[in-house]
Structure 1
Amino acid sequence: MRGPVPKKPTAVLHRPEEMSVFPRVSLRPEVYEHLRHVFLNQELLAAVGRAEAERRFQGLLLVLSHPPGFTCVRASTHLAPLEEVRRRLAQELQQRQQRSGSPAAVAVEILLHPRVPDVLLLPVIGPRSLVPLRSEVVVGAQCGSAVLRGANVFAPGIVATPKFMKPGDAVSVFSDVDGRCTRGCTKPFQGNKVFVGNGVSEMHRATIFAQEPAKGLGVRMTEPLYQSPSFDGVLPDLVFLQNLPSVVVGHVLGPRPGERVLDMCAAPGGKTCHLAGLMKNQGEVLALDRIKNKVELIRQNAAALRLTCVRAFCFNSTQAVTSDPALLATDGPPFPPSSFDRVLLDAPCSGLGQRPSMTVGWSLKEITSYSPLQRKLLHAAVQLLRPGGVLVYSTCTVTLAENEEQVAWALDTYPCLSLVPQEPHVGGPGLPGAGLTPDQLKLLQRFSPELSNVAPPLSTEAPPPLSNEAPPLSTEAPPPLSNEAPPLSTEAPPLSHQADRDTIGFFIAKFLKN
């Protein structure tokens, strides 16, 4: 006998204040004022006006504490066609739902992106109307953020549980926003916490807090506040969880088979493997990172995806170039100048574009400490790039100092560099405030979730599907920079447009070395 037909989700348009389940991201006062100054700078005020600039800033603080409306998966199209990956993923997720025995199964919609040819999008359902249970499990903020993006709760992330919790107990999961909950606490935590869903315990409390740190699944989420499939162990050779802008970066760099490419800050290797896949595993991708165990993770990811053209080294990329023959290595860093056709610098940054993030405890000194390191890395990148080569600089933060101001500095410091168009260009233009011209801002790509007027859905009706065929990449120029804020419409834009906006905060610049 056939079971009930799974319900299908939809995407429904909400104003930013209507999507709010959590308060705006919590910042130290000096960090708040610093960011407010960034988003109310004179160039931006002249372009959009004070009221609109303030609305955007407050909207940013709101969306940062909430998860994006889509789960983005990069398909390993060097191993299988996109449609085959899509079919196998749908089959695997359906089988997992059936095995879970969930009484309220929801059909998983898997959509293609019309301009990014190896991306699959899964709309997130939420925030859902759920009733917290009496038994509470408290998890760390990082674990709570992972739950909001579809993960189950693993034992290392658990901070507190009921006194007699055992496998099979129904529990509610709360995220400790400020990190104030005492590990192993049995009393209800009264601090700053947010509800992220209901689940079923998979472990005894004694096991979780034993002297030997527990590993494995601690709580299986049966009713997450934001519903998105868990990808733990799902088709590891064919799909890779990656934010949409991070996938766009690889296409913007545009590596070709046979080229020599450098990924300067490569861990954990998602972008490295994407570049190697775009090159059809032909040529050479060298990946550098300063932390030894992260370098091993790059190697493991490349091996899992059968990418033999990737070589990873533990090395400080600021010192990756030398003209001294005595210091040159035979097959690794440091390298002589002009060694690479293309260089990706996905730079260490303040990470203020990451979502969801309910609190940022860093000081202003910490937030502003990345710019000098980024310039050292840019200096090495320009030297390592051959004439005629392409350099892509990216960050997952929203500040001017780490994004547009770095571009302005690079153009002023290195006359050999020029900005060139990006393809695909699915984000918005750069943010005014760094003295760049409107034409230069158009060539940049800033993903600004605060400009999204789309929130995760509350409805259970089916969404209109995207096309079943991925169109070729467009050759159109980037959209013009507008001084007008996008109007808050009452009609939902296409899902692909929603996914382009409702993502993490991210920045991409593409340079040509003349």
Structure 2
Amino acid sequence: MMYLEAFPEELQGYYRKLFGEDAEVIMQKLREPVEKYYIRVNTLKISRDKLIEKLREERLKPKRSPYLEEGIYFEREGPNFPDDYNPDFPTVVANKYASESVYQGAMLYAPGVLKADRNIRAGDKVQIRDPKGLLVGIGIAKMNAKEMIKATRGIAVEVTLPKFKLPSLSELKSFEKGYFYPQSLPSMVTAKILEPSEDDLIIDMAAAPGGKTTHLSQLMQNRGEIIAIDKSRNRLKKMEETLKRLGVKNVKLIHMDSRNLPELGLKADKILLDAPCTALWVRPKLWEGRTPKDIMATARYQRHFINAAIKSLRKNGTLVY
């Protein structure tokens, strides 16, 4: 029952009330990465079959999604060691975000290190744990302990044995050329449900980092117009880079709080609203501090976005929330 330590008792009770006997399995599965890691083929630049050929050339094992013609997935590897595995190596403690990344195969970078045993030297074999003590991976230190704590960049630990292993894609040539975008299956389905056409004016109310926006663009063959809104300038800057990488040309970025969308005086054919949420279902969830009160507060917050969306739709327009 180790997975129960990841959730506050109040949240456990909430899940049991909602899901009954299935709650235990759900909480256990939330601790694990997805079994199938999806990417979306950027059909503005390449076909699925050609991308699969290129990925195989890069020594990966891509598989075709049976659900979406632009979907490709990779199967997860692991678990690579049991939950009670307790290796006798010096310990590096990583923050929650870094721990969840290491847990599924990423390197541990120095900014993610919270503390490290003083005797650690570069070249030592070390174990990596999250702040609550969960073992997330084993690797080789690339810095000594003091350097790990002080450094603001660079790999602190080269992870050789993560708990689970998902493919590392951002360094691939096919990624750099904009042939694909890492995106979950449900996220891809969302854009398909909206059924965008080449003549539509579409608004994406919480657009960054750009997965759904760029999917809409390729479904529209880079035609029509998409207004992509986000309140974070930094996220919009990164999104602009993504648009260039993927060759997207029919998107206009706007920096604003989408709750104020009616002030623009626009009337869209279709609106996509992936409202700010609790992210309680993002996997893996090594541990969670939110409670049912946070869920209710977020629901109230989301209503403001829904109201703004309704006011900005044309008659007989479509909102996907």
Same fold (TM over 0.5): yes
| Between structures 1 and 2, the one with greater helix share | 2
Instruction: Tell me: CA distance 1:201–1:91, structure 2 relative to 1, closer, same or farther (3 Å).
Output: farther
Instruction: Tell me: CA distance 1:269–1:215, structure 2 relative to 1, closer, same or farther (3 Å).
Output: same
Q: How does 1:212-231 map to 2 (within 5 A)?
A: 213-231=151-169
Q: Is the 8 A contact 1:289 1:313 kept in 2?
A: yes
Question: Does residue 175 in structure 1 map to residue 155 in structure 2?
Answer: no
Question: Does residue 29 in structure 1 map to residue 14 in structure 2?
Answer: no
Q: How does 1:408-487 map to 2 (within 5 A)?
A: none
Instruction: Tell me: CA distance 1:25–1:314, structure 2 relative to 1, closer, same or farther (3 Å).
Output: farther
Looking at structure 2, the residues matched to 239 and 206 of structure 1 have their Cα atoms a distance apart, in angstroms, of 39
Identity, % of aligned positions? 27
How well do the aligned residues superpose, as a CA RMSD in angstroms?
A: 2.0
Q: Is the 8 A contact 1:147 1:224 kept in 2?
A: yes
Looking at structure 2, the residues matched to 253 and 125 of structure 1 have their Cα atoms a distance apart, in angstroms, of 33
Which TM-score applies when normalising by structure 2?
0.91
Looking at structure 2, the residues matched to 25 and 335 of structure 1 have their Cα atoms a distance apart, in angstroms, of 49
Which TM-score applies when normalising by structure 1?
0.58
Looking at structure 2, the residues matched to 154 and 75 of structure 1 have their Cα atoms a distance apart, in angstroms, of 29
Q: Which residue in the other structure is 2:145 paired with? A: 205
Deviation per CA, 1:111-134: give whole Å up to 9, x if none.
101121111111111112376351
Match for residue 238 of structure 2 among 279, 293, 297: 297
Q: Which residue in the other structure is 2:277 paired with? A: 349
Q: Which residue in the other structure is 1:244 paired with? A: 185
Deviation per CA, 1:291-323: give whole Å up to 9, x if none.
22122222121122121211111111111014x
Match for residue 52 of structure 2 among 76, 86, 101: 86
More relative contact order, 1 or 2 (CA 8 Å, 6+ apart): 1
Question: Does residue 125 in structure 1 map to residue 77 in structure 2?
Answer: yes
Q: Which residue in the other structure is 2:108 paired with? A: 153
* Partner secondary structure for residue 164 of structure 2: coil
Q: Which residue in the other structure is 1:424 paired with? A: none
Q: Is the 8 A contact 2:140 2:157 kept in 1?
A: yes
Unaligned runs of 5+ in 1: 1-19, 40-53, 95-107, 177-191, 323-333, 394-514
Q: Which residue in the other structure is 1:498 paired with? A: none
Letter in 2 for 1:376: H
Question: Does residue 335 in structure 1 map to residue 290 in structure 2?
Answer: no
Q: Number of aligned residue pairs: give it.
A: 315
Q: Which residue in the other structure is 1:264 paired with? A: 205
Question: Does residue 56 in structure 1 map to residue 36 in structure 2?
Answer: no
* Partner secondary structure for residue 303 of structure 1: helix
Deviation per CA, 1:445-485: give whole Å up to 9, x if none.
xxxxxxxxxxxxxxxxxxxxxxxxxxxxxxxxxxxxxxxxx
Q: Which residue in the other structure is 2:34 paired with? A: 68
Looking at structure 2, the residues matched to 206 and 133 of structure 1 have their Cα atoms a distance apart, in angstroms, of 21
Q: Which residue in the other structure is 1:285 paired with? A: 226
Instruction: Tell me: CA distance 1:87–1:202, structure 2 relative to 1, closer, same or farther (3 Å).
Output: farther
Q: Is the 8 A contact 1:267 1:298 kept in 2?
A: yes
Q: Which residue in the other structure is 1:366 paired with? A: 294
Deviation per CA, 1:3-28: give whole Å up to 9, x if none.
xxxxxxxxxxxxxxxxx8x5236332
Q: Is the 8 A contact 1:25 1:61 kept in 2?
A: no
Q: Which residue in the other structure is 1:194 paired with? A: 134
Q: Which residue in the other structure is 1:136 paired with? A: 91
Looking at structure 2, the residues matched to 193 and 215 of structure 1 have their Cα atoms a distance apart, in angstroms, of 24
Q: Which residue in the other structure is 1:316 paired with? A: 257
* Partner secondary structure for residue 50 of structure 2: helix
Deviation per CA, 1:75-126: give whole Å up to 9, x if none.
212111111212222222x2xxxxxxxxxxxxx4311011211111111111
Q: Give, in angstroms, the shift of residue 289 of structure 1.
A: 1.2
Deviation per CA, 1:12-61: give whole Å up to 9, x if none.
xxxxxxxx8x523633233332333233xxxxxxxxxxxxxx32111111
Q: Which residue in the other structure is 1:104 paired with? A: none
Q: Is the 8 A contact 1:263 1:286 kept in 2?
A: yes
